[in-house]
Structures are given as structure tokens and as C-alpha cells.
Structure 1
Amino acid sequence: MSRTSYVFTSESVSEGHPDKVSDRISDTIVDLFMAKDPEARVACETLTTTNRVVLAGEIRGKGIWENGAWAPGVEKEIEDAVRAAVKDIGYEQDGFHWKTLTFENHLHGQSADIAVGVDAADGKDEGAGDQGIMFGYASNETPELMPATLAYSHRILKRLAELRHGGEKRLEPDAKSQVSLFYENGVPVRATAIVVSTQHAKGMTQADVAALVKPVVAEVLPEGFITDETVWHINPTGVFEIGGPDGDAGLTGRKIIVDTYGGASPHGGGAFSGKDCTKVDRSAAYAARYLAKNVVASGLADRCTIQLSYAIGVAEPQSVHVDLHGTGKISEEVLERELPAMIGGATPRAIREHLGLNRPIYARTAAYGHFGREPDADGGFSWERTDLTDKLKALA
């Protein structure tokens, strides 16, 4: 029997965290190429370190990489896009500056062996870009149907970033947060611990930083969650002036639990950023979240986890598993049978078409989570729609 009273913790990292800088750059490249060719293939990895950005990976697309070479002007567009992304985050420091950083581009053409397995041809549907397992999750503990610990961790850092972009010069881009909540009868009721580390201007004390951070946390958390017993750790090392890629190297795809469900759900192991949506690491994880969210939004369960699995070059999922965690008002076997059909069989092509994923909508996903966001008018975060609820209710 599962416990109903416990403490659970999730963390988040800001857009200026070195790994998130790398994610943002990789997804900026995805957007650049998708804008040129909606069928582009992109697998872009980014390394960031002291005043240096390095790209590597495989790409393909019309007007991008053709006949074994870059299309005219594309290499300059790539560098310009990278520098603009770093500038937008806010890095103008001696150790990492959008204008002076050294840039290296080692992207090259996609492997023919991968292309032949993935591309549709001779009546064969487009296959999955790789093997793997993907998970989607939803919980009714927050309005966005996300784990509360992660939702609040994201909101703290997003609010600090808004203050910084709005002119708060004492805050710098790199930051991390961590929220521990006590769950009573399965419902979050109070914060037991709050951890926030944020890069700051020179000369600030811990007390100075705390005076900035604590009102933000109080604004974000529900009334009554902070008590006299809440433990605070604000910049617990005492000083955080050197940060970002100058303080620690960053790599694409190292914050996958921050990107998903904060540890409240399993993760398949594949990262999202830098990949076009023929890669089921990304598209099938979005599809699984979409289905799980609609199950919970329809009232058929309080919590839902969905696993999908794929084989490289094969279109159909190898398995579909649904777990309602004992909260379901419908058979899990019924959902396993019916859910894939609601998105065209859950093939890579069907997922991309149903969710409209062949668009330049990915740089915005790189910080503050890929899930629990509002769908955008241009198709961004389409996997957060709840447009299947009527169909699902009819199954009950």
C-alpha cells in the first residue's frame, strides 16, 4: 500500500545554468533549421565553457546541408543565432559574453545508415529515429496537472529571471532552486525546505540575496505553505559571483529530470533538446504527456503515467503501458487499447502531424520545463492541449 503522507522534493535550474544555456543553443539550431525545412533532420549537441561554445552533431535539410556541404550563408546564420541566444539569456560577463565568445561549428551531414532506416520509402512509413522508452505523466495536484514540487521550483526561477530581465541588476543569469513539500493524504500542504542559489553582482552578502529571493518564493508558493518551520538555504556556499559556463561547463541534455516531472515519474533516459521530432526521444515523450494529461483532465484518474516504446526504423510503438496509480475510474487496459488510436496509432509521423511538431517552436522549451506550460497560438506546447477529454469521457 502506497504512503499518503511524506516529503517529496524537486529541483529546477534557470535559463542561465550552463546546461540550460547548452539546451537553449541546441534548440535554437533546431528552430533555425525547421524554419528553413519542416522535414529537416537535426541532432545538435552543444558544449559551453569559459567564453566558448562548441556545436557537434548530424543534420540534413533543404537549404541547409545539401550534397555534402553547407548551403550558402547558413554557417553565418548559425553563428549569429547562437550569439543572439546567449545575448537573450543575458550573458555579458568577462568569462562568458555573447559578443566575444569563441564559436566552433562541428555539425555535419546525417549518417546515411540512420536516414535509410527513418525515412519513408516504397510504401514503408517513416520509422522511429531511435529505439527507446518514453514516459508521460500528469497529476491533479496543480492546475497545470504537474507535480507541485517541480511547478513551484520552476516558478521561483522564472520569476527571478523576469526581475533580472526587467532591470534588477543585482541578479545574474545562473540559478538553481529546490522545493521540498510535505504531502498529507497525498496532497501538498506546506514547504519543509526551500533551497535557492542564484548568481549575483559582486559584493552582495547572503543576507542581501535572501532579501531578494524570499519575497519571490512567498509570492510563488500558495498562502500558508511557508511556515515558521520551513528551512531556508539561500546561496548556502556564501558567495555565487562566478557562474554560468565560466563557472562550470555545460552540455545539452544533462537536465532531463528538470525538463520533465522532477522525479515524480520515470524518465526514459533520452534528452529532448537539439533533436527534431523524428527522434521519438522528443516526440513520443510529448505524445505520452499529451495523453496522460488528457486522461487526468477528463477526470478519469488523479494521476497517470504512460510508457511508449519504439524500435529504430519501425513506425508502430512496440508497447503501450498505462498506470493510473490506483486512482482510475476506467480500466487501464481500455486506455492502452484506445489511446494510440486517438493520435493516429502513435507512429512518429502521426505524432508529428497530430501535434503540429514540424515548426520552429523549440527554443522556448529549453528552460523551465517542457511540460505544464500554456499552449501557444503558433503551435508551441501543443502537447499541453486537453482536446481529447470528450473522447476519453465517452470511454468510461
Structure 2
Amino acid sequence: MRSDYVFTSESVSEGHPDKVSDQISDAIVDLFLAKDPEARVACETLTTTQLVVLAGEIRCKGVYENGEWAPGALEEIEKTVRDVVKAIGYAQDGFHWETFEFINRLHGQSAHIAQGVDASGNKDEGAGDQGIMFGYASDETPDLMPATLDYSHKILQRLAEDRKSGAAPFLEPDAKSQVTLRYENERPVEAAAIVVSTQHAPDYYFHNGEGDEAKYAVLRDHVKSVIAQVLPAELLTENTVYHINPTGRFEIGGPDGDAGLTGRKIIVDTYGGASPHGGGAFSGKDPTKVDRSAAYVTRYLAKNVVAAGLARRCTIQLSYAIGVAEPLSIYVDLHGTEKNGATEAKLEKILPGLVRLTPRGIRMHLGLNKPIYGTTAAYGHFGRKPEGDLFPWERTDLGEALKAALA
């Protein structure tokens, strides 16, 4: 295991076209779960210039039953979509919340999928698909997340807050960030490079002698001030390299600048590349889909292992077969950082006894059958504060049970 290295993670803002798509898809999940906690949703969203398209399979009491839409359901779906785009802040000629064309191609869930997934008789609810899911935690930050990703997210969150509050009216919704840190003894010691590219109001750029240098200085200085607020002061040194809108002009952005699709930012959503990824996206899927729920429970378990002081880093993998309730395997890797009597083999035996790792067991333990997913669709699904029903997989309530099981 390397102790000295340089590592990079990126994030994208809520106005990035792929994140617009993710937020719309999760708003549809929330809409349906609010009406039917057992709703089945697999909603994909395409966004491009003045167009939003929904596609996928659904089943929801009071919304879509027996092949028919309930009265007013289609109008409510469209309003939900437009409200998401409005909240992000898109009211531009190329993508305007009020005037974009909307196409809804959602349809009923396949009966062949339903027969394998639904509980019936003595059969427990099965996994909605085969697949592998990973969870990860590291003690690099208070939120037990990789520092490179944590800082990347928080830079963009702060910029969005400043845009919406009016503190930085020259900012527009689309943005990306990237943080490169130098590590010694597995700890971040210096920010080697920080990249921020943000959409902006007209003329707030300067590149190769073109544009308004004074206006660009306002944007650049604001972005650098946000970086200084987010990163610990000791990481920002005279060696830190900043790239703020390095290509110059960035006035056309969002879905007008590049098409967006649900599920294209899965590394941003998870651990910034610091952990393996099973390949399945989260947004647009109800919690019976193990792509989502099992990824959440593996994060929950890994975070509790680290929070309990049993390791400094922890990776957990689960695998499933479609229609089968119990996971096929559980794998734990403590990366050589184990402490206080913990071992991978012991944890692989203990963890399934603390949380039943079937799709229904996960949903019941974490309380996932609720409209809680809209807030997950930008700035990461992990490393967030558990508040009320939100982000229950971020709780650290298994510590005593883990220590007792290891005693």
C-alpha cells in the first residue's frame, strides 16, 4: 500500500447537464414514493437544448395502474420536472424551465421483472437485478470521505449558494471542479492543483488577450476566495496551481451546451475514484433496486467500521442475483489499517448479523421507502449530514454493536 502519492477527484454542479438529468429522475422517484411507498421506478432523463425527455418503467398506486394514468398524473409529472429546472436556475434562451419541450415516455414495469422481484407467498422480495455494489469510508475528513472529493463538492456547493443568494450574480448554474492533493503517510499535506470551470454572465472572461480582464478578475478572485474557505489553510501553499476557467469564455452551458443523461456521473456520486465502483447508477431508481439500496448499505457499514475505530479505511462489496433475496457474497477490505481486534474475516461474519442484507431488510433498516432522494442527486450521495429522514446511510449507530461482536 502506497503512503506517499498524488490523487485527484472531480465534482460537477447541480447545473451540469448530467446532474440536471439526475435531479429530474430523482424528483420523479420522490413524487411516486410520496404517493406509494412500494412504487417501482426506473426513470431515465435526457436533457438538451430546450428539451427534456423521460423514459423508463414505473408502477405506482394512484399514478399508474393497470396500464392507465390517473387523472392529473401527467400534468403533475411535468410540473415536477419544470420545478426542478427552475430551482436549479435555468431561465436561459437555450434552456428555460418554462418553455422547454417536454416528452414523457414512462410506461408500465415489465411483468417478467415484477414476478422475480416482488414478494409472494413464502418468497421474499428479490433483488431487482444482478450486480456488485461497493461502499467505502476513510478517516481523511470528518465526514469519513476522500478529501479530494469532499473539497471538490464543497467548492461547487458554496459557489451555487453564492449564485442563488446574489453574492455572486455573475455565476451561472453549470460548473465543474477538480482537486489534486499530495499525500504523505496517507494524509493530505498540500493542494497540488485546483481546477474550477464555471459558467458565467456575458464578458466575465479573459483569455489570450480577449474579453474583459477586470470582470474576469472579479470572477477569479471570488472563486479563489471560496476555495480558501473550503480547504484547510495549511493545504494551500505557494506551490498550489489554480486553473480558473482555463479555456476562457464559458457563457453557453448546461443542457444547451452539452446533452445530459441520468447516471453518467457515478464516480462523482460515490467516492471520486478512491474506491471501486460496481457500475450501477443510483438516480432515478426506487430503493428496491440494489444498485441504489445496497450501495447505500455498504457505505453505512463501512462508515460505521471506521467511525467505531476499527480501521482507518474500509471497503465493502456485496453481490446479488436478480430475483434472489440474500446477497451472494460479502467482501471486506481494511487496507492494512485495522485496529482494536478487527479483521476482514471477522467483519464478514459479523456485519450480516447487524443488518439483514436482503433488499427489503436494507430498506427497512435504513428507512428508504420515502421521498428522500432529490437531495442526493447533486454534490454526492455520501459524506452528507443525516438529518431526519435524509441520508440515513450516513448514521454511525452500529459502533457499540460492532465492538460487542468483536469482544
Asked whether the two chains share a fold, i.e. TM above 0.5, the reply is: yes
2:240 corresponds to 1:230: yes
Match of 1:188 in 2: 188
Match of 1:374 in 2: 385
The 2-side partners of 1:64 and 1:190 are apart by 52
Match of 1:384 in 2: 394
Alignment of 1:20-59 (within 5 A): 20-59=19-58
Match of 2:230 in 1: 220
Q: Deviations over 1:83-117 (max 9, x none)?
A: 00000000010000000000000000000000000
The 2-side partners of 1:383 and 1:97 are apart by 35
| TM-score normalised by L of structure 2 | 0.96
Q: Deviations over 1:33-91 (max 9, x none)?
A: 00000000000000000011000000001101111111111100000000000000000
The 2-side partners of 1:163 and 1:208 are apart by 14
Alpha carbons 1:209, 1:235 under 8 Å: kept: no
Alignment of 1:42-121 (within 5 A): 42-121=41-120
Cα offset for 1:207?
Answer: 3.0
Alpha carbons 1:180, 1:191 under 8 Å: kept: yes
Letter in 2 for 1:220: V
Q: 1:286 aligns with which of 279, 291, 296?
A: 296
Alignment of 1:338-353 (within 5 A): 338-344=350-356, 346-353=357-364
Cα offset for 1:122?
Answer: 1.6
Match of 2:368 in 1: 357
The 2-side partners of 1:265 and 1:74 are apart by 40
Q: Which runs of 4+ in 1 moved over 3 A?
A: none
The 2-side partners of 1:395 and 1:141 are apart by 26
Letter in 1 for 2:2: R
Q: 1:262 aligns with which of 268, 272, 284?
A: 272
Letter in 1 for 2:183: Y
The 1-side partners of 2:219 and 2:259 are apart by 24
| TM-score normalised by L of structure 1 | 0.98
Letter in 1 for 2:280: G
Query: What SS does structure 2 have at the residue aligned with 1:120?
Result: coil
Cα offset for 1:208?
Answer: 3.3
The 2-side partners of 1:130 and 1:76 are apart by 31
The 2-side partners of 1:148 and 1:216 are apart by 16
Alpha carbons 1:18, 1:245 under 8 Å: kept: yes
Match of 1:333 in 2: 345
The 2-side partners of 1:171 and 1:197 are apart by 11
Match of 1:202 in 2: 202
Letter in 1 for 2:103: E
The 2-side partners of 1:108 and 1:341 are apart by 38
Alignment of 1:141-220 (within 5 A): 141-167=140-166, 168-205=168-205, 206-220=216-230
Letter in 1 for 2:64: W
Query: What SS does structure 1 have at the residue aligned with 2:33?
Result: helix
Letter in 2 for 1:229: N
The 2-side partners of 1:394 and 1:90 are apart by 49
Note the residue ranges of structure 2 that are not aligned, 5 or more in a row.
206-215
Residue range with higher mean Cα deviation, 129-138 or 327-336: 327-336
Cα offset for 1:144?
Answer: 0.3
Identity of aligned residues (%): 73
2:285 corresponds to 1:275: yes
Alpha carbons 1:305, 1:322 under 8 Å: kept: yes
The 2-side partners of 1:340 and 1:287 are apart by 11
Tell me the C-alpha RMSD between the 2 structures: 0.7
